[in-house]
Amino acid sequence: MPITKKTVDASKFNQSAVVPYQLRLQDFQMAMQDIYDFFYDVNSHMTDKGLERLDDMLRPAIMSGLLSDMLTASLATHSRSLTENRYHNGHPDLLVKGVYANNSVKSGTEGIEIKTTRKAGGAVDTHGAREQWMCVFVYAVDNATEPAVHRIPMEFREVYLAHVTTDDFRRNARGELGTRTATLHKEGVKKLRESWIYRA
């Protein structure tokens, strides 16, 4: 059975959204479509060889990391003023071109941090509370439909972009072996959701 190709529904974008750094809604649409096209190409090739879809092979944490990296790269390609942060694991993921030497900074303020999650509403863990522009892509993966050949492709359900401050976060308790994280608290999540870009 052939793989279904997803197309971003342009009518689902918030035409009243306020976006920073000269971003356009079309930049988000093209970045999301780039991801859909990639998964279509890869999954078509894999299923033709009798292999599982990439969606079914990747663990959730790896899938989220992959999507974050791909969306960062694609938004940098389509954006007029943003580029990828060349500092390994630097923050934020996207920087305003030319603000930092070699477009590389360990911890900067001029740019956008990209997050992905399967959690509806966009609540996502971060490595620390900080003032930032944060963009959250909420996606869904069908790992349940049987037989597997009938599963729908990965799809983006929601996109949020808001300027948040340290006061918008709650610090999460750290386990004995865990890394300290922070998550937007109730009012912080409300601020994020009010600044929606796309809702399918």
Of residues 100 and 188, more confidence is placed in 100
Assess whether pLDDT exceeds 60 at residue 52: yes
**From CA 189, how far away is CA 126, in angstroms rounded?**
13
Give the separation between CA 9 and CA 49, rounded to whole angstroms.
30
Q: Which residues contact 187 (CB under 8 A, 6 or more apart)?
A: 168
Domain segments of the chain as ranges: 18-199
Mean pLDDT of 15-39: 97
Instruction: Identify the residue whose tokens are 């959204």.
Output: 17
* pTM confidence score: 0.91
Residue 170 burial (CB count, 10 A):
13
Give the integer Cα–Cα distance in Å for 23 and 20.
6
pLDDT at 21 over 60: yes
Structure token digits, residue 70: 């791909």
What are the tokens at 133?
């522009």
The overall average pLDDT reported for the chain is: 90
Quote the CA–CA distance of 135 and 195 in Å, as a whole number. Answer: 10
pLDDT tier, 176 (very low <50, low <70, confident <90, very high otherwise): low
CATH topology of domain 18-199: ECO RV Endonuclease; Chain A (3.40.600)
Mean pLDDT calculated for residue range 45-62: 92
For the segment 101-123, the average pLDDT, to the nearest whole number, is 93
